[in-house]
Amino acid sequence: MSGPRLPYQPGHYPTTRLRRNRRDDWSRRLMAENKLGVDDLIWPIFVHEEKEQRIPVASMPGVDRLSIDILAEAAREAVSFGIPAVAIFPVINSQRKNEEGTEAINPKNLVCRAIREIAEQNLNLGIVCDVALDPFTSHGHDGLVRDGYVVNDETVEVLIQQALIQAAAGCTIIAPSDMMDGRVGAIRKALDQAGHERVRILSYAAKYASAFYDPFREAIGSTTNLEQGDKRTYQMDVANSDEALREVALDINEGADMVMVKPGLPYLDIIFRIKETFGLPTYAYQVSGEYAMIACASNQGWLNGKRAILESLKSFKRAGADGILTYFAPQVARWLREEAEEL
Ligand code: PBG
C-alpha cells in the first residue's frame, strides 16, 4: 500500500487514455500495484492420528487430513516451494474429547507431536498453532462451558497452559483463535516467564461468528458437537467493523506481534481498515467455506479455478494484507513457480 498522495488529477479524454497502460502483458506487469508471491502464503494443514496416511475432507475437495509420518514430508514440500509457514490443525479422536478439553494441555497430544515432528527437522519454516479448545472439547466450543455460557477468565487459564506446551514443543507462532478477552496479554506474560520471549503471537483479533467455518468443523470433527449453540457470544458480530479496530487495539496493547482477520474475502473492508489504522503485520484467513466454494465451482467447470484463486488472493493483497492463510497454498506456490519459469 502506498503513502500520501498528490491532489487527485484525473486528466481528460482523449489526451488521457487509461487503456494505454493495459495494452500489453509487459505493461500490465509494470503497472501492477500489488503482487502475490510465495512469501505471502501460510499453509493450514490438518493432522490426524489414524493409520491411513491421508484421509480426504469431504467438504473440502482436494484437502486431506495427514498422518504425522507424512506431515514431515508436507513440511519439506512447503520449504521447497518457499512457503514461509504452515499452520497445524489437529483432528482429535472423539474418545479423547471431553467437556473440559483436557487433551489440549497434554504435552504429548497430537498437536505437540506434530510440532515436534516438524521442529526436529530444523527447517526454515514457521510453525503456527491455534490456541483454542474446540478441537478438544466434546461440545465443540472454544472455551469452558458453565451453565450454558462459555466463560472467559477460567478459559484463559487453560489457554495459557495450551500455549505453553505448544511453545515448549517448538511452535514459533502462537495463534490464539478463541476470541476470549485478555488472552493475548495473559499468554504473552506466561510465555515470557517461561523463557519463550522469542515466540511470536499472531492474534486472531477480528474473528467473526461466520457461516464459512462449517467445512473446517467437519474436517476436525466438531460439527455435530456444536448443535447446542454457535459461537456468537465470543466471536464477533458480522455487522460490526469499528469493533474490529477495538479488538486489534487491545491485542496490540497486550503484545500481539501480528493480527489476523477471519474469514477473508467477505471481510476485505476490515483488513483495509486495520492495516490503515495500525500498520502492523495483518493477515487474512481464506477459510474452509471460501475454499469449498471456489474448489467446488471449479471442479464443476463453472469457473476457472486458477484464475479465481489467484484473483481472490491478489484481492487480499490489494486490501492491505501482508499474507494469507489458504488451503490453496501449495497449489498456488506451484503456479507461481511455473509462472516465474515461463518468463
Ligand atoms: C478454531 C478455529 C476455527 C477455524 C480456525 N480455528 C473454527 C471455528 O472458530 O469454529 C476455522 C478455519 C476455517 O474455516 O478454515 N477456533
Query: 154-165, pLDDT tens digit by residue?
Result: 999 999 999 999
Q: Is the CB of 213 under 6 A from ligand 1?
A: yes
Give the pLDDT of residue 7. Answer: 74
For residue 187, pLDDT over 70 is answered with yes
Site to substitute for ligand 1 among 177, 180, 267, 328, most atoms within 8 A of C-beta: 177
Query: In terms of Cα–Cα distance, which of 254, 323, 341 is closest to 83?
Result: 323
Position 3 confidence tier, pLDDT thresholds 50, 70, 90: low
Residue 220 CA to ligand 1 centre (angstroms): 9
Inform me whether the pLDDT recorded for 166 exceeds 60: yes
Which uninterrupted H or E stretch holds 330? helix 329-342
Question: Which atom of ligand 1 is nearest the CA belonging to 216?
Answer: 14
Residue 308 has pLDDT above 80, yes or no: yes
CB of 288 sitting under 6 A from ligand 1: yes
Task: Please state, for a pLDDT cut of 90, what percent of the chain lies above it.
Answer: 92
In ligand 1, the atom with minimum distance to the C-alpha of 212 is: 14
Catalytic residues, by residue number, are: 207, 262
Distance of CA 229 to the CA centre of its chain: 23
> What tens digit of pLDDT does each residue of 137-151 get?
999 999 999 999 999
Confidence of residue 73 (pLDDT cuts 50, 70, 90): very high
Section 334-338 average pLDDT: 97
217 Cα to the center of ligand 1, angstroms = 7
Q: For 336-340, what is the mean pLDDT?
A: 93
Is any atom of ligand 1 closer than 6 Å to the C-beta of 316? no
Retrieve residue 256's grid coordinates: 500481539
Mean pLDDT across 13-32? 96
Q: Which of 44-53, 93-102, 168-177, 225-234 has the lowest mean pLDDT?
A: 225-234
Please, what's the b/e burial string for 271-303 (b: 16 or more CB within 10 A of its CB; e: otherwise)? Answer: bbbbbeebebbbbbbbbbbbbbbbbbebeeeeb
pLDDT recorded at residue 197:
98
- For ligand 1, mutation pick of 133, 134, 220 (most atoms within 8 Å of CB): 134
Closest residue CA from atom 11 of ligand 1: 213
Label the pairing between strands 173-176 and 126-131.
parallel
pLDDT tens readout for residues 206-247? 999 999 999 999 999 887 666 555 899 999 999 999 999 999
CATH number for the domain formed by residue range(s) 35-342: 3.20.20.70
- 17 contact partners, CB below 8 Å, separation of at least 6: none
Compute, in angstroms, the gap from residue 320 CA to the centroid of ligand 1.
22
Q: Look-up: residue for cell 473446517?
A: 216
